[in-house]
Chains A and B, each alone.
Chain A
Amino acid sequence: MTSPEPGAPLLELSHVSRVYGEQVKVYALRDVSLQVRAGDHLAIIGPSGSGKSTMLGLLGVLDRPSEGTVTVGGVDSGALPDDERSRLRGDSIGFVFQQFHLIPHLDALGNVATALLFRGLTKAERAERAMAALESVGLGARADHRPVQMSGGEQQRVAIARAIVTEPLLVLADEPTGALDSTNAAMVMEIFAGLETSERAVVLVTHDHGVAATANRVVSMRDGAIVSDVVQEPKAFEGAR
């Protein structure tokens, strides 16, 4: 696992642009700079088309910037070959998606343990750590249930357990409550609330102001640029807004 120098940002976007198209260039993101530090519980908010999905791809090392640099844990991810980027992703970032993206043929424990594959762990070690992660999201009792046997909220909690089981620097969530009813959304947001630590940051990408209100820092985006970056007092989740 990569660890940045103390005080250095976990994640840094420096003058990043993302351009689509060959002849006609469309800027999805234009000259964006952003630093994410340990302890940040950051919400990136903006309407659709504001560039937040592009931002998510870059933050998650799923995409390469057209210009500028994306530094993860002190490493310039854009300069790395594909395999190194995959490993960096696996080591440093935990993903939570709107559509959960659980593997249907694996049970909850198997889905969480999947994140621990190819790390030199035995099956028993993987299962032990996956079980601990499932218990931390309150699903220890449903370890042997498959995704189809679980509610959306439970599936999303499994996805969170999968995101944190590798102890990443950054938990990156894409509209984590987008597919959930309010009760389940509240339960999921409650789990997110305590996830940032002195070594870890949480980034929520959302268009939902209710979700953004739970963050201690809100970055607003519009038309491929950051329009505001505000530190705020986090509030409990009170439903989608």
Chain B
Amino acid sequence: MSRVRDLVSVAVAGIAARKVRTLLILIGPIVGVAAMVGAVGLTESAKGDLRQKLAELGTSLITVEAGNTFGSKAATLPKDSVRRVDAVATVESASAVAEVKNVVTLPITGGRDYYQAFPVPVLATDTRLPGVLQVPLRSGRWIDGSDVRDHGRVAVIGGALADQYGVLPGEARTIQLNGNDYGVIGVLDRVALDPSLDNAVFVTQWAAKNDFGTDGAPTKMFVRALPDATQRTADALPTAISLGGTTEVSTKIPSDALQASSQADKTLQQTALFAGLLALAVGGLGIANVMSISVIQRSSEIGIRRALGSTRSLIGLQFLLEALFVGLLGGLLGALLGVGVVYLVSAIAGWVVVIDYAKMPIWISLAVFVAAIAGLYPSVKAARLEPLETLRLG
């Protein structure tokens, strides 16, 4: 142990003694590692806002719709789809909506002609929808069990529709659906993963059946899968819903598109990574070159150390260790510089900084590795020097 400690102190003293030279050979690993850290950091940070959004929204939501077989009229899912989906082991929760056709929605009395021209989707749904979507209510509350039991004419409206209607938080108001007054009990916040819900009016199944005469078969389902089981769940759902029937079911993971667009530009990233590797390799050549000359310049030091009892291997290790420290120091400084650049550029460009600190040890070890390879030849050369020749006896 004391040998290692002695060797480290000798190597550190050797590096510290020649500051300008050390600084020069540090540039290679610094630039190399900074380029690699910067390459990954900048390309990832450029999509940082999308990734942040993705992290908030999650990737486990699946939407299910009846397949649009050619010629089939308004496709619907089986009535007990929610129960069928709940039976799938990897499903956390599920909710369904049934679109009610031909409903004229009026925010105010009068103006019927105007609003008729802009149909608003009316969706009959259950009590679970916001929970499955993981979207909060902007104000008020969602349809609950008592609304379902008491057959209340209540409605929740989507965030965008509320904005359009000018609904104020906490305002008690009604809207007219085909002439029936519905009390607006809440406003759903905007649903990033399915913006079609933002303009919708949500009512109970009873209201849909009673006031508009629908059969309550879902036109669309929202399914929250267990973590890491999204794709498997999406694959299993069509079978689970159709159960051998003729219903064609298509599933979609709406976060997929977001995920795809949040992926960093891999080509750019790889190009920059390659440039960083190249800088590191060139830096390695620099280390090998400078250290080889250094061995000649320090032949007297090597000779006297040999005369004082250092073995060949100790001399070799001393120089190898100097190279390793250059790699390590260069790697650390390079990582620091790279992170700094990412923060600086992100601040200027207004990006959300994404830095994978877990990968830092990889970049730094890469610099150490290159430096070790570079230091190999000078080290062997130093170890092979004959003290008798370097000491120039009189």
Contact = CB atoms under 8 A, between A and B. Distances in A.
Interface stretch (A34-42, A68-76, A79-87, A212-220): A79-87
A97 interface: yes
A138 interface: no
A115 B313 contact: no
A87 B387 contact: no
Contact of B311 (A86, A114, A178): A86
B320 to A, nearest CB: 16
Interface in A50-102: 53, 56-57, 60, 62-63, 82-83, 86-87, 89-91, 93, 95, 97-99, 101-102
A224 to B, nearest CB: 15
Nearest to B388: A62
A138 B288 CA distance: 42
Interface residues of B, number: 31
A115 B308 contact: yes
Given A62-B387, A117-B10, A86 B393 contact: no
Nearest to A93: B307
Interface string B328-352: 0000000000000000000000000
Given A82-B311, A115-B308, A120-B2, A106 B394 contact: no
B304 A91 contact: no
Contacts of A62: 306-307, 387-388, 391
Nearest to B17: A105
Contacts of A205: 394
B9 interface: yes
B6 A117 contact: yes
Given A105-B13, A106-B13, A114-B305, A53 B310 contact: no
Interface in B312-332: 312-314
Contacts of A115: 308-309
A25 interface: no
A4 to B, nearest CB: 18
Nearest to A61: B307
Nearest to B15: A105
B18 interface: yes
A89 B306 CA distance: 8
Contacts of B73: none
A118 B14 CA distance: 16
B149 interface: no
A141 interface: no
B232 interface: no
A5 to B, nearest CB: 23
A90 B9 contact: no
Contacts of A98: 393-394
B310 A103 contact: no
A110 interface: yes
B301 interface: yes
A118 B300 contact: no
A53 B312 contact: no
Interface string B1-13: 0110011011001
A90 B305 CA distance: 9
Nearest to A103: B301
Given A101-B300, A103-B301, A118-B314, A60 B307 contact: yes
Nearest to B16: A105
Contact of A89 (B3, B307, B393): B307
Contact of A105 (B3, B18, B309, B314): B18
A57 B309 contact: no
A12 interface: no
B17 A101 contact: no
B121 interface: no
Which has the most chain B C-beta neighbours within 10 Å: A87, A106, A114?
A: A114
A154 interface: no
Complex A-B, nearest 10 residue pairs according to Cβ-Cβ distance, in ascending order: A90-B309, A105-B17, A175-B394, A86-B311, A98-B394, A83-B311, A101-B304, A62-B388, A53-B393, A117-B6
23 contacts: A57-B388, A62-B387, A62-B391, A86-B306, A86-B312, A87-B309, A87-B311, A89-B306, A90-B308, A93-B307, A97-B391, A98-B394, A101-B303, A102-B304, A104-B17, A104-B301, A105-B14, A110-B13, A114-B304, A118-B314, A123-B9, A174-B394, A205-B394
Given A105-B16, A118-B309, A178-B394, 11 more contacts: A56-B393, A86-B306, A98-B393, A99-B300, A110-B13, A117-B310, A118-B3, A118-B6, A118-B314, A166-B308, A175-B394
Interface of A: 53, 56-57, 60, 62-63, 82-83, 86-87, 89-91, 93, 95, 97-99, 101-106, 110, 114-115, 117-118, 120-123, 162, 166, 174-175, 178, 205
